[in-house]
Amino acid sequence: MIELEKISKIPSIDGLKIDKYGKSILYISNKSGSPQLYRKCIENNSEPSMISFGEEYVSNFVLSPDEEQILYKKDSKGDEISHLYLTDLKNMNRKQISKDAYRTFPVIWNPSGKSVIRSVITADGCGIEEINIESLDSQILFISPTPYLSLAFSSDGKRLAATHMQSMVNSQILIIDWENKKVEHNISFSDNSSEKLPSWSPDGEKLAVLSNSKGQLQVIIYYIDSKITKCLTLNQETEVFPDSGETLWNPDSSSVYYIISKHSQTQIIEQCINNGNSTTVPFPKGLVTEPDLSKDGRFLAIKHSAINFPTEIYCYNLETNKMEEFSTLSDEQSLVDLPKVQSVWYESYDGKRIHAWYMPSTDRTSKRGVVLVHGGPAWQHFDSFETGLEVVALSLSGLSVIAPNIRGSTGYGKEFQESNIGDIGGADLEDVVYAAQTLKELLGSDNSKIAIMGPSYGGYLSLLALTKKAKIFDAGVAISPIVDLSEMYRSSDRAYRMFLETYLGGTLDEKEELYIERSPSTYVENILSPVIIVASTQDSRTPFEPVADFISKLEKQNHTHELIKIEEAGHNSILAKIDVKTYLLKTVISKLNDYLI
């Protein structure tokens, strides 16, 4: 059976892109130790070549229209405040093109290849920055108190479609006349819906838009000139995968490819615009994501994983119906001998049904387990190796795992996703408590030792459970957690203040009592069980200072705890380096096993 250290060294894969000739796939992987850019030939099974080097992280790369340059963003030690860089793929020369570093959401090229634009968060608000790549002159346009989440140019560069957020649960599409820098009109299908991730058809006549205006996330085709809409229907309990990226268009604009999700597994379908007929592309079961279609429509590439199957690249030839798998794993990293993952449902305190994944321990005699809480909260535990890395590592170490998709998770409809608005740390915390009870039932013992563990929002609920539900859990692990909602609000930029205002129902001034009442720091004196906190000093989302204050209070109480401080990483990059990931997994799991004896 695979060893824990070998699991931690399984490389990640992100940012899949097929070149315009359909001959190779570009992607980001940390196979060398830190995230770098690789190129893999489609037509033969040769080893991928690394085309970026060094310790600096490569993230969110975008090919230039002529595919001779790569645009990407780079922050300072993980703080997510980024400059933009261009690398020439012929001579690998790199230059910085941004004058100022900002929190940056999407970055795209103007189809002319003469400029790039990005969504930025500044000290004064949010906007769209345009940078001339020759002169490096820049300007920030369309200043707003709320951010732009995605950007897409029409093929001629005359129009820009931008997702403009109003709150975490409400957004609209702006159609911008880019030549004259003015908004033509906006696309909004209801007052309380989210329209996002616009994708232009190659003929420039239509937009594919993701919308939850009908209660589930689905693709709506919007005809630009007539403003007519056409909804692409889905089966019940199925919705579009919320983070699948933009809808892909066939070159003749007659059909689209997009990813659908049901009970945290995904598949990709092709759907005809005219008659609505759809076919499923036969990729393996699990999580299919980050699709890209070659410009001639011949090749469709995706990345695939499952809880017990690491991430791999697949390329499907749509002409020959032939599938190619490009393995990045060694034989010794196989997970075939692990216990079977189970899809389970349980009832929470109010009768609401909650979906979860369950993996037994490899030690069938063990009566110890972990409730693994996902981040977000608008996210979910997919049948993916993103979830599976921790699930598998814990199972191998003698701990059974339940990974619930608590209320507020994506993938189970608009009503379920928004059921925690104004109530974070309320009913969703009860869902976590009932997950612990379900885990005890699965283990067959009321005397089981149960820990709670999670990153980001999952770290927040882990600390809240340990302090507000102190007798439920026997230990806990909080990775990059929110500790003090008031302090997070004070230190946040506009984007993350909007996050808190949505989920707590108002600003800190308006809802100060609720901010205090739902913060783990308020209840630190109640904690009974040992706790491990993993935090990075460069985290610009969940700041380190409240963590340090929480630890100081634990020390004054002589409470058993462990602080693992990561110096040169941020919120999203804390596990980006393989050596850090290996160290954290081994250290955290070793401590958990000690605490759960």
**Residue 466 resides in a domain:** yes
Rounded distance between C-alpha atoms, residue 11 and residue 30, angstroms: 6
pLDDT at 514: 96
- Cβ contact 178:529 at 8 Å: no
- Residue-wise pLDDT tens digits, 96-129: 999 999 999 889 999 999 999 999 998 778 999 9
> Could you tell me the two tokens for 573?
């990059």
Query: Which of helix, strand or coil describes residue 229?
Result: strand
**Residue 345 resides in a domain:** yes
pLDDT at 51: 77
Rounded distance between C-alpha atoms, residue 76 and residue 101, angstroms: 9
**Residue 138 resides in a domain:** no
pLDDT at 23: 83
What separation in angstroms does the CA of 568 have from each of 28, 57, 577?
Answer: 20, 12, 11
**Residue 117 resides in a domain:** no
Rounded distance between C-alpha atoms, residue 392 and residue 591, angstroms: 17
- Cβ contact 107:90 at 8 Å: no
- Cβ contact 211:198 at 8 Å: no
- Cβ contact 450:440 at 8 Å: yes
Question: What is the mean pLDDT of the segment spanning 313-318?
Answer: 91
- Residue-wise pLDDT tens digits, 7-30: 888 888 888 899 877 888 888 888
Query: Which of helix, strand or coil describes residue 15?
Result: strand
Question: What is the mean pLDDT of the segment spanning 481-485?
Answer: 96
Quick one: 327 exposed, middle or buried, by C-beta within 10 A (0-12, 13-18, 19+)?
Answer: exposed
How do strand 322-326 and strand 138-144 relate by DSSP bridges? Answer: unpaired
pLDDT at 326: 78
Rounded distance between C-alpha atoms, residue 375 and residue 459, angstroms: 8
Domain residue limits at 576: 338-482+522-595
pLDDT at 435: 98
**Residue 542 resides in a domain:** yes
Rounded distance between C-alpha atoms, residue 491 and residue 494, angstroms: 10
Q: Which helix (H) or strand (E) holds 465?
A: helix 457-468
Q: Which helix (H) or strand (E) holds 39?
A: strand 36-41
- Residue-wise pLDDT tens digits, 76-93: 777 888 899 998 888 888
> For the CA atoms of the chain, what is the radius of gyration?
23
Rounded distance between C-alpha atoms, residue 167 and residue 192, angstroms: 10
pLDDT at 37: 83
Beta-carbon contacts of 48 under 8 Å, excluding residues fewer than 6 positions away, are 29, 38, 39, 40, 326, 328
- Residue-wise pLDDT tens digits, 404-421: 999 999 989 889 999 999
Number of domains in the chain: 1
What separation in angstroms does the CA of 383 have from each of 12, 239, 309, 357?
Answer: 16, 16, 9, 8
Rounded distance between C-alpha atoms, residue 367 and residue 361, angstroms: 9
What separation in angstroms does the CA of 95 have from each of 58, 92, 278, 386, 507?
Answer: 14, 10, 45, 33, 40
Quick one: 555 exposed, middle or buried, by C-beta within 10 A (0-12, 13-18, 19+)?
Answer: exposed
Of residues 222, 312, 300, 292, the one with CA closest to residue 16: 292
**Res. 553: pLDDT tops 70:** yes
DSSP strands (E only) in 135-191: 138-144, 148-153, 159-167, 170-177, 182-187
Query: Residue 556's CB: how many other CB atoms inside 10 A?
Result: 10
- Cβ contact 187:193 at 8 Å: no
pLDDT band at 297 (very low <50, low <70, confident <90, very high): very high
Calculate ∠ Cα 473-405-521, nearest 5°: 45
**pLDDT above 70 covers what percent of the chain?**
95
Query: Which of helix, strand or coil describes residue 26?
Result: strand
Q: Report the CATH number at residue 379.
A: 3.40.50.1820
**Res. 215: pLDDT tops 90:** no
> Could you tell me the two tokens for 578?
């393989």
Q: Looking at residue 339, what DSSP letter applies? A: P
Calculate ∠ Cα 414-240-345, nearest 5°: 65
**Res. 185: pLDDT tops 60:** yes
Rounded distance between C-alpha atoms, residue 30 and residue 573, angstroms: 11
Beta-carbon contacts of 123 under 8 Å, excluding residues fewer than 6 positions away, are 493
- Cβ contact 222:210 at 8 Å: no
Query: Between 372 and 244, whose confidence is greater?
Result: 372
pLDDT band at 569 (very low <50, low <70, confident <90, very high): confident
Beta-carbon contacts of 1 under 8 Å, excluding residues fewer than 6 positions away, are 337, 338, 362, 396
Q: Using CA of residue 213, residue 216, residue 217, residue 223, what is the dihedral sign?
A: negative
> Could you tell me the two tokens for 412?
């189970």
Of residues 401, 404, 359, the one with CA closest to residue 382: 404
Backbone angles phi, psi at 582, to 5 degrees: -60, -45
Rounded distance between C-alpha atoms, residue 147 and residue 149, angstroms: 6
**Residue 128 resides in a domain:** no
Q: Looking at residue 501, what DSSP letter applies? A: H
Query: Which of helix, strand or coil describes residue 436?
Result: helix
Calculate ∠ Cα 526-527-530, nearest 5°: 170
Determine the distance from the C-alpha atom of residue 289 to the mean position of all C-alpha atoms in its chain, rounded to a whole number: 11
Of residues 218, 257, 255, the one with CA closest to residue 236: 218
pLDDT at 53: 62
- Residue-wise pLDDT tens digits, 47-72: 888 876 666 667 778 899 998 998 98
**Res. 334: pLDDT tops 60:** no
pLDDT at 10: 85
pLDDT at 92: 80
